[in-house]
Structure 1
Amino acid sequence: MSTLSVFYIKSVLIIFSSVAVWLGTRTGALWEQIHQRNQENRVLAISLIVFRLLPFLLVYAVLDYSPRGDVPFFWGKASVAYQGGWVYRDFASYHAPLFSYIITLPILLWYTPKAIVLLMVLMEAGIIWGTYRTYKSLHNDAFKSVMLYIILSAPAVMVLLGGQEDEWLWGVAVWMLYYFLRTKNDGLGLGLRFSSGLIVIKATAGFWLFPLWVLLKKKGAFLVGMLLIGIPILVILYLLMGLDFLMPLEQATNLLTPNLFTVLRPLITAILGHAPHLPTFTWIGMVITLSSAVWIIYPARHQSLVKTLPLAFLATYIAMTIFQLTSPGYYVFTYMLPLVMELVDWKKSIDTAILLIFNALLVVQPFLFTHLNSPTYDDITVLANPLFLLEYTLQFLNVACYGWYFRKVHQKARYSV
């Protein structure tokens, strides 16, 4: 399938999903009828089949599409792990130590990169289901929000065509939220669950510890829970491969887009007189990301963790997509589901409109950026070309959307909880 054909398919998906979501926000009787008949679980299951499993079969079985995005990289390490190789020592990985072995599991049954995409689809379905189970006692619109999320084109493209795993971070967070709802205990059990993200997914799973720490009442017990998992894993990794397990830190200089740095890069280059030193700006971005997330959540520190845990998660990862130069647009997959659950008021047309614009940007900008061979805009004269100007404008609009939702987290943490 040609690149242009893929773009046309994505464009159709954007139009279809936008119309469907807009209509979905205007048909209150439909959601009420489903609720009265107690059909939420059935409709959710059917929707996951229709909007995820069937498209997977169409794309990869009928059309025989080859997985792209991160999947070839995932396949490279999964195939070596399949043969008994050690992560970090025998193959490169920027993920947590267990991730490579988890994505190896499906290829034990189906030895093809498509099996990894299927795993991502099934994991997303599980996280969606877990989110609904957690939120249905918290929000009246939980079912409606989950359903409209499923219909959005950006998450579908990210998981089906990109094979993205970033939503796993929210999977850990919503697991923690569900546990806290049942136990009202933010100590040992929560710490154990938090640490699972650090050994299963990737280092960025630990970013939101900083605002979360402000909210915890049983900090000591939470820390013990983290150490019970963290220390044995670090010892095992060191014994097996020395300091090779620090490999994920090398990604800190891998420039991705769009974020505030890439939008401001032409200005920064003009001021400095040369291309920016990426490691320096990486650490600056990291400091701003974590400190701004703590600042956002601090006023809500006395509120229930039921309300503030999702906000701490959103504050961290929205800030990351704004300030970290290693953050691509697809990282929005990390928080798109809680964003829909927490920050979108379906009764407000402006909320729906901005979400749909954001959804379209997340699909179109990465395609155009790749088509133009990943421009950095150190030479600002390239903006005289309409296509480069369009791509740069899409980057700017993406960052503006990040800022919109960051502001909404701030408002909710300060005034609404």
Structure 2
Amino acid sequence: MLVLYVKLAATVVLSLVSLGLLWQRNRVTETLQQTGVWTLDLSWGIFRLVPFLITYIIMGYMPQSDVAEFYYPIGLSALDGGVPARDVYTCYSPLFGYWIAPFLAIWRDSRMVVLAMLLVEWLSVRLTYYYYQRQEATGERLFRGVFYYVLPMPFIMSVFSGQEDVLLWLFMLLAIPFMPKRPFLAGLVLGFGMLATKAVFILMLIAVGLVMLRNLRQAIWFVAGLATIGLPVAGFMFWKTGTLFLEQQSLEGDWLKAPNLRSLLNPFFAAGLESAGKLWKWGGLLITIAVAVRSVWLIRTKTVAWTYRDYIPFVYTAVYSAMTVVQQNAISNYAYLFMLPLVFTLLNFKRTGWCLALIGFNALAAVHPSLWWRIGQPYYNQVSELLQPIASLEYSIEILLTIGFVYYAVQALRVLRRPSPPTDAHAL
């Protein structure tokens, strides 16, 4: 339980720091106005690199969970020229280990994987800062970046858990320069994103592809870019592993996790839900796709055309928030998927209650995975099980987190209903 207590302590401290930043927002913003983008690098150094050095170098702590069980073995296999799925079990895309491998060539240690993920997050923050809220004063934009770095959930997921989720947002950002004038290159970038992350990235490919159907020529070039990088890799994987690489990714969807809608309903309808496990798995996927299609429909019905840069953070947030609610293997880690674009494009700092709720959501999302794991990954089959104090606490957190995911999905869709792209998050 030591890990849980450390994460809880870090969450409390960072929540207080976040509250302090909100309280002194005007003063901090004025100070940041006199600085530059290097403030983001300094924040990364203070809230990411220094904790990394203390945790893993000075204290000698070794990464656990996904880093030890998946990322590091997959990266080592790639470094040694192995074929994913055949030579190492992987629930990630075929090239996931191959972008980790160069880092392991420098330092063959699982801690290097965590450092690589921290660098991915740093680049994601820099690019998000570059592309979004450019109408705001420099100090206001920098405040968003600093505020993101001190939120407890991104801190826990990056430093202590080494999670890769922000990588999906990075690939969405990398495609911005090529939209819409170079759709083939955009297809290459997003195709590589699909091959280098995990299967759920296809949800964004579906959404972007449907939006691009507004211009058939662009859509064809976009699909050509996807096919240019995707088909050779898929062909190679089928040659070397058959359908094994697809089966291993699909198996991940059978693992029951929390919090999500099924975990909330299970105490009341356990028998029926167990018999309908496959239906729930694929039904959840269809609902998530439906949210993506709904997002696209809202965009395509606008008189004023939304550019890729305009719509992608809101579609991204809506899709992955909804996915976390309806997929039976979803966990609160998935908040890390969209927290960065949410802070930069949806967060109105003038709405104090909204900001306080976001900090609370972050605090719960930061500690719930470790709590759930260390009390035995419970999936309650009877209402009576919830009468136990620890079960009641854990289930209450599940409820609050699920409400949060639903709320952020609804808020993102609400923005997409606007007649024109928002120019200022403070107007939302």
TM-score of the superposed pair, with normalisation by structure 2: 0.90
Instruction: Kindly indicate whether the alpha-carbon contact (under 8 Å) linking 1:106 and 1:115 is maintained by their aligned counterparts in 2.
Output: yes
Equivalent of 2:83 in 81, 86, 92: 86
User: What amino acid sits opposite 1:243 in the alignment?
Assistant: T
User: In 2, distance between residues paired with 1:366 and 1:121?
Assistant: 20
Partner residue in 2 for 1:203? 199
Give the direction of change, closer, same or farther, for the CA distance of 1:186–1:269 in structure 2 (3 Å limit): farther
User: In 2, distance between residues paired with 1:174 and 1:197?
Assistant: 11
What SS is found at the alignment partner of 1:165?
coil
User: In 1, distance between residues paired with 2:92 and 2:198?
Assistant: 4
Instruction: Kindly indicate whether the alpha-carbon contact (under 8 Å) linking 2:318 and 2:410 is maintained by their aligned counterparts in 1.
Output: no
User: In 2, distance between residues paired with 1:22 and 1:408?
Assistant: 22
Over residues 121-148 of structure 1, what are the superposed CA-to-partner deviations in whole Å (9 max), with x where a residue is unaligned?
A: 1111111112112225255543221110
1:155-166 paired onto structure 2 within 5 Å: 155-166=154-165
Q: Does 1:194 align with 2:190?
A: yes
Partner residue in 2 for 1:75? 72
User: In 2, distance between residues paired with 1:243 and 1:293?
Assistant: 27
User: In 2, distance between residues paired with 1:33 and 1:110?
Assistant: 38
User: What amino acid sits opposite 2:186 in the alignment?
Assistant: L
Q: CA RMSD in A?
A: 1.9
Partner residue in 1 for 2:286? 287
Equivalent of 1:376 in 361, 379, 385: 379
My pick for the range that moved more, 389-398 or 207-216, is 207-216
Give the direction of change, closer, same or farther, for the CA distance of 1:225–1:83 in structure 2 (3 Å limit): closer
1:10 Cα deviation (Å)? 2.1
Instruction: Kindly indicate whether the alpha-carbon contact (under 8 Å) linking 1:96 and 1:201 is maintained by their aligned counterparts in 2.
Output: yes
Over residues 343-382 of structure 1, what are the superposed CA-to-partner deviations in whole Å (9 max), with x where a residue is unaligned?
A: 2111110111110110111122112211210111113221
User: In 2, distance between residues paired with 1:266 and 1:186?
Assistant: 51
1:7-406 paired onto structure 2 within 5 Å: 7-25=4-22, 26-35=24-33, 37=34, 39-73=35-69, 74-135=71-132, 137=134, 139-140=136-137, 141-180=140-179, 184-185=180-181, 187-216=183-212, 217=215, 218-246=218-246, 247-269=248-270, 272=272, 275-301=274-300, 302=302, 303-305=305-307, 306-406=309-409
Instruction: Kindly indicate whether the alpha-carbon contact (under 8 Å) linking 2:32 and 2:142 is maintained by their aligned counterparts in 1.
Output: no
Number of positions where the alignment pairs a residue of Structure 1 with one of Structure 2: 407
User: In 2, distance between residues paired with 1:138 and 1:400?
Assistant: 32
User: What amino acid sits opposite 2:389 in the alignment?
Assistant: P
Over residues 190-212 of structure 1, what are the superposed CA-to-partner deviations in whole Å (9 max), with x where a residue is unaligned?
A: 21221111111111111122332
User: In 2, distance between residues paired with 1:192 and 1:351?
Assistant: 38
Partner residue in 1 for 2:426? none
Over residues 211-265 of structure 1, what are the superposed CA-to-partner deviations in whole Å (9 max), with x where a residue is unaligned?
A: 3233223222211111111112222222333333323222221222111111112
Instruction: Kindly indicate whether the alpha-carbon contact (under 8 Å) linking 2:18 and 2:151 is maintained by their aligned counterparts in 1.
Output: yes
Over residues 287-306 of structure 1, what are the superposed CA-to-partner deviations in whole Å (9 max), with x where a residue is unaligned?
A: 11110232144222233223
User: In 2, distance between residues paired with 1:82 and 1:293?
Assistant: 36
Instruction: Kindly indicate whether the alpha-carbon contact (under 8 Å) linking 1:253 and 1:282 is maintained by their aligned counterparts in 2.
Output: yes
Give the direction of change, closer, same or farther, for the CA distance of 1:238–1:371 in structure 2 (3 Å limit): closer
TM-score of the superposed pair, with normalisation by structure 1: 0.92
My pick for the range that moved more, 221-230 or 10-19, is 10-19
Over residues 323-362 of structure 1, what are the superposed CA-to-partner deviations in whole Å (9 max), with x where a residue is unaligned?
A: 1112111011111101111221111101111101101111
Instruction: Kindly indicate whether the alpha-carbon contact (under 8 Å) linking 1:48 and 1:150 is maintained by their aligned counterparts in 2.
Output: yes
Q: Which has the higher contact order (CA 8 A, sep 6+)?
A: 2
Instruction: Kindly indicate whether the alpha-carbon contact (under 8 Å) linking 1:72 and 1:113 is maintained by their aligned counterparts in 2.
Output: yes
Instruction: Kindly indicate whether the alpha-carbon contact (under 8 Å) linking 2:268 and 2:382 is maintained by their aligned counterparts in 1.
Output: no
Instruction: Kindly indicate whether the alpha-carbon contact (under 8 Å) linking 1:173 and 1:194 is maintained by their aligned counterparts in 2.
Output: yes
User: In 1, distance between residues paired with 2:397 and 2:261?
Assistant: 12
User: What amino acid sits opposite 1:239 in the alignment?
Assistant: W
Over residues 142-193 of structure 1, what are the superposed CA-to-partner deviations in whole Å (9 max), with x where a residue is unaligned?
A: 322111001111111101111100110000111123443xxx4262222122
Instruction: Kindly indicate whether the alpha-carbon contact (under 8 Å) linking 1:215 and 1:308 is maintained by their aligned counterparts in 2.
Output: no
Instruction: Kindly indicate whether the alpha-carbon contact (under 8 Å) linking 2:72 and 2:110 is maintained by their aligned counterparts in 1.
Output: yes
Give the direction of change, closer, same or farther, for the CA distance of 1:227–1:84 in structure 2 (3 Å limit): closer
Instruction: Kindly indicate whether the alpha-carbon contact (under 8 Å) linking 1:212 and 1:312 is maintained by their aligned counterparts in 2.
Output: no
> Identity across aligned pairs (percent)?
27
User: In 2, distance between residues paired with 1:230 and 1:372?
Assistant: 41
Instruction: Kindly indicate whether the alpha-carbon contact (under 8 Å) linking 1:191 and 1:225 is maintained by their aligned counterparts in 2.
Output: yes
In structure 1, the gaps of 5 or more residues are: none
Over residues 255-292 of structure 1, what are the superposed CA-to-partner deviations in whole Å (9 max), with x where a residue is unaligned?
A: 2211111111222226x2x7343222100101111102
1:117 Cα deviation (Å)? 0.9
What SS is found at the alignment partner of 1:345?
coil
Partner residue in 1 for 2:424? none
Instruction: Kindly indicate whether the alpha-carbon contact (under 8 Å) linking 2:319 and 2:409 is maintained by their aligned counterparts in 1.
Output: no
Instruction: Kindly indicate whether the alpha-carbon contact (under 8 Å) linking 2:11 and 2:367 is maintained by their aligned counterparts in 1.
Output: no
User: What amino acid sits opposite 1:240 in the alignment?
Assistant: K
Give the direction of change, closer, same or farther, for the CA distance of 1:324–1:215 in structure 2 (3 Å limit): same
